[in-house]
Chains A and B, each alone.
Chain A
Amino acid sequence: MKSSRFDATVLTLCFAFLYIPIIILVVYSFNASKLVTVWGGFSLQWYRTMWSNEGLMDAAWVTARVGVLSATLGTVLGTLAALSLVRFQKFPGRMLFSGMIYAPLVMPEVITGLSMLLLFVALNIDRGFWTVTIAHTTFTMCYVAIVVQSRLMTFDRSLEEAALDLGCPPVRTFFKITLPLILPAVIAGWMLAFTLSLDDLVIASFNTGPGATTLPIKIYSQVRLGVTPEINAICTILIGFVTIGVILASISTKRTELRRIRDEHVALRGTT
């Protein structure tokens, strides 16, 4: 099998390319030496200096609040948008609607950021915590819409129809049947929205104001001055945080999936 050896080589090289820089970053956050190229032994001192850096900690707190709020709002709006796209094949302006869902995914961030800022200025809204949150909600809801939409498309509608036929009102059907079934996708959407908000530098820079410095803005301003182990430390914590989150989410998705399959089996056996 010549081609499988070739494939294995390609995969090894590509994954090495994807992971080695991140691994190096993490390893050097534990470096006692301040120099990137010198290994001075294992040390946690950069985590200590990071912890006592108030500016950095404030920024982390702002980022966490913006992230949770905008991810939650974005998930609600994105799920509604996905439902509209999949369930309602015809409504006035559907073309524009789907365009507005897809465009933010590829739109250069400098354009989105600048144009939103100009809106806030035109509406006389002071820039700060809320403007960043609204901006993040707007672009994250589109990612959530895509994730939930793909789940809704493979969705077995007979369960919903059964509930409706039995006289369950549509809103209740949604909360009792539809939502539990698409929940893994909704949770995945929330996580994606949260990490996107956690990540964003450009849109936040345009829409931030006094007292609403987010972590990426803070990191960016320090990175411009050069590589410091303290930044490596905070990056390592962020990476660890996201990795644990992704792993937990994938485990819970798998569990609900398994439970659903088991329930279906039980239900089928019950009917025969």
Chain B
Amino acid sequence: MASVSETQAANTPNPARWFVVVVPYLWLLLFFTAPFLIIFKISLSDTAIAMPPYTPVFPGFGAISGYISKLDFENYLFLTEDPLYIKSYLSSLRIAVISTFLLLLIGYPMALAMARAPITLRPTLVMLVILPFWTSFLIRVYAWIGILKPDGLLTLLLQTIGLMGPNEQVLIFRTDIAVFIGIVYSYLPFMVLPLYSALEKMDNTLLEAASDLGCPPWKAFWKITFPLSLPGVIAGSMICFIPITGEFVIPDLLGGADTLMIGKTLWTEFFGNRDWPLASAVAVVLLIMLVVPIMIFQNQQKKVV
């Protein structure tokens, strides 16, 4: 009896096992992977003023050559012709790099402080980091509008404590600075948690050994703590960098008209100009830009498993 069930569990493709893998597999293939093939196809087709606003191409097998000749890279060429797109891509990358760096700068000391806190306190601290993450992204960005706008609470605070005259106002709402504040605020938990889990596992005897041998604390940090926390640094940076590059809500609500980010450009192209093929081309290029960071992220995750 025992051996039968064992071999069954190990080798025979019984229907239950098959079901466990195939159902989520097919779901993801259909609703996650197939859409990418479609988006690529649409990005090669022409815009049409209709609903859906692109020339639908269901050619049948006979017309396949004619169908292929209809596809072209026109939309991609357009992306290189209008400087708006290149500027948006570069500006997104710049904002994502700077904010990831800021997140590391704030998140690292925070994660380190959490990892060095008394062990009984740690679960509470982790919970406190996670809790804002459960609160709506949109709500958290919205909360900053009331604070940052010229007649908002920050101005009021600075005027009350006398750092600002009654007629002066804080003018960072609808600028890149507001976008950075919004991004750092929204993504901080994503940066802190991977860093914390890397730092928490650290073997403290290494630091003790270093200090016994006369190594000053700052040097021990750079020689021991930081290198050992590198997996957390990479994971946290990727988890933040990739979505920030395509961020829409934050630059739209906190940024100004001159805050170019590709997520916003794509949104306008789709909802404003109703140019679906061009929006698809914008998305495909963004995806290609993010392939390398996504691969790094995936590798990092696989090591954890």
Contacts and interface: CB of A to CB of B under 8 A. Distances in A.
Interface string B106-150: 100110111011000000010111111011111110111111010
Contact of A36 (B5, B6, B138, B152): B152
A164 B34 CA distance: 38
B127 A220 contact: no
A179 interface: no
Contacts, number: 252
B138 A220 contact: yes
Nearest to A77: B24
Given A97-B25, A134-B31, A149-B305, A111 B287 contact: yes
A216 B138 contact: yes
B280 A138 contact: no
Interface residues of B, number: 96
Contacts of A202: 248-249
Contacts of B61: none
A199 B137 CA distance: 6
A102 B32 CA distance: 11
Nearest to A202: B248
Contacts of B112: 7, 10
A11 B270 contact: no
B110 A11 contact: yes
Nearest to A115: B35
Contacts of B276: 118
A219 B129 CA distance: 25
Interface stretch (B13-21, B71-79, B82-90, B226-234): B13-21
A69 interface: no
B31 to A, nearest CB: 4
Nearest to A114: B283
Interface in B22-67: 23-25, 27-36, 38-39, 42, 52
B60 to A, nearest CB: 15
Interface residues of A, number: 90
Interface in A88-143: 88, 91, 93, 96-112, 114-116, 118-119, 121-122, 134-135, 137-138, 141
B253 A223 contact: yes
Contacts of A24: 143, 146-147, 153
B178 interface: no
Interface of B: 1-2, 5-6, 8-9, 14, 16-17, 19-21, 23-25, 27-36, 38-39, 42, 52, 106, 109-110, 112-114, 116-117, 125, 127-132, 134-140, 142-147, 149, 151-153, 155-156, 185, 188-189, 217, 238-239, 242-243, 245-249, 253, 263, 266-267, 270-271, 276, 279-280, 283, 286-287, 290, 293-294, 297-298, 301-302, 305
25 contacts: A18-B185, A21-B147, A24-B143, A77-B27, A83-B20, A84-B21, A84-B25, A88-B21, A91-B21, A100-B32, A100-B33, A107-B294, A108-B243, A108-B246, A109-B263, A110-B246, A114-B266, A115-B39, A118-B38, A165-B2, A174-B16, A195-B136, A206-B270, A227-B146, A238-B139
